[in-house]
Chain A
Amino acid sequence: MRITCPLCGSRDRREFHYYGGAVYAERPAADAPPEAWDGYLHLRDNPAGETRDLWYHELGCSAWIEVTRNTVTHAVLSARLLAGPERQGRSARSILTKKKPNSGGKGR
């Protein structure tokens, strides 16, 4: 399995650490009801098909990325850099579009 890091390009799975469902990056507000925290900490979907999860490029650029992949076909569909919570949504995409995925490194 290969994952395309937005910064490093196509890399072998061994360079990444798996961290589970991408919902883990969507932390509830501090005053959210206990059910929201329970769901955030303990409940995960296990879809046959498209899923989003978190990977850490530990033997690479040290970026946290969100990978969309298909658990049935094993296709890796897309990956984006995760931004800090205060910038989520806005800059995560813009980082991807601003910097050309490098080859070499670069976009292979």
Chain B
Amino acid sequence: MASLLELTPCEGLLPVTAGGVTLAELPPALITSIAPFEAKQAAVARVLKSLGLGWPRPGRMIARGDACCLWSGRGQAMLIGAGAAGLEGIAALSDQGDGWARMRIEGAHSEAVLARLVPVDLSPAAFGKADVARTALGHMMLLIARTGGQAFDLMVFRSMARTAVHELTVAMKAVAARDNAT
């Protein structure tokens, strides 16, 4: 029997800190994409409610404890940190736990760092706590949520982890250098 090493997507790459901003990998979690079948939207919402969550409106997430449900596109949400029991037969489910690199960027200048890579307005007035956007990080697909006053959770495809860390680290250092210069 082969003995296989289990590595997280950002193993050996994170955490990184620059200019008071920290980029760290989030702990591995169960991730299931949920796409309700036709006319099953309400039934899916009921099951998610029973988990203490719910079906998120576009651009929103619903969190409770370690579990959350993020809107992730038209007719689709990501259930993170909780099992999808009860949704079989009423929604298309796919286990994506190994498919994503999940990171948290935190610190006073985290918005300034992201502004270099993400083409949406992430200021608190436009993108408040529990707001979610599917957009780009450089040229990568990104799922982003504001999880704190100065903290954002980021999800990119696992195959892009190294590139995402590289791009974010370069932006963090550039913002830190500007800060030092003034």
Using CB atoms and an 8 Å cutoff, list the residues of chain A in contact with chain B.
7-9, 11-12, 14-15, 59-63, 81, 99-100, 102-106, 108
Q: Report which residue of B58, B76, B132 has the largest number of chain A beta carbons within 10 angstroms of its beta carbon.
A: B58
| B47 CB, min distance to chain A CBs, angstroms | 20
> How many inter-chain contacts with C-beta < 8 Å in the A-B complex?
68
Interface size class, chain B: 20 to 34
Chain A residues lying within 8 Å of B135, measured Cβ to Cβ, are: 8, 11, 15, 59-60
B120 & A11 in contact (Cβ 8 Å cutoff): yes
List the B residue with the shortest CB-CB distance to A7.
B58
Chain B residues lying within 8 Å of A60, measured Cβ to Cβ, are: 73, 134-135
| B71 CB, min distance to chain A CBs, angstroms | 8
Q: A14-B119, A15-B119, A62-B73 are in contact. Are A103 and B126 (CB under 8 A)?
A: yes
Complex CA–CA separation, A12 to B126 (angstroms): 16
| B55 CB, min distance to chain A CBs, angstroms | 12
Chain B residues lying within 8 Å of A103, measured Cβ to Cβ, are: 59, 126, 131
| A85 CB, min distance to chain B CBs, angstroms | 13
Q: A14-B119, A103-B131, A104-B60 are in contact. List 12 more A-B contacts (CB 8 A).
A: A7-B74, A8-B134, A9-B59, A11-B119, A59-B135, A60-B73, A62-B76, A62-B134, A63-B73, A63-B74, A81-B74, A99-B58
